[in-house]
Amino acid sequence: MSDFFKKYASIRGEQHVQRLQLEGTIAAQIKERRKQLNMSQQELADRIGVPKSTIGRIEAGLASPRVETLFKISQALNIPFIIDGTNGHDHHLHIQV
């Protein structure tokens, strides 16, 4: 964890920082896969029935999508949606899209 995140965790709590990092990872995975498919944000938005701004906010890490939205994104991008709560000893929810 970087010094910034350590300091931020001391203020907001480690779980909050871990959640932000997880959301950032998911956002990056969505953006990377969309670009691999040469799909625009508008095309993805149209496929899942949300405004383009929603996709932009998700990819920028400014919005936390609902599970149903993540599922629709995974279908549109043809990638598995896996929620694995059994990852190691940390007992945190890990989501792979």
CATH superfamily of 15-96: lambda repressor-like DNA-binding domains (1.10.260.40)
Distance CA 95, CA 54 (A): 20
Q: What is the pLDDT of residues 10-68, one digit of tens each?
A: 777 888 778 888 888 889 999 999 999 999 999 999 999 999 999 999 999 889 899 99
DSSP state of 83: E
pLDDT given at position 92: 45
Determine the 3-state secondary structure of 79 from DSSP.
Answer: coil
Q: What is the pLDDT of residues 70-87, one digit of tens each?
A: 999 999 999 888 776 555
Contact 69, 53 (CB under 8 A): no
C-alpha distances (whole Å) from 30 to each of 13, 24, 48, 65 are: 26, 10, 13, 12
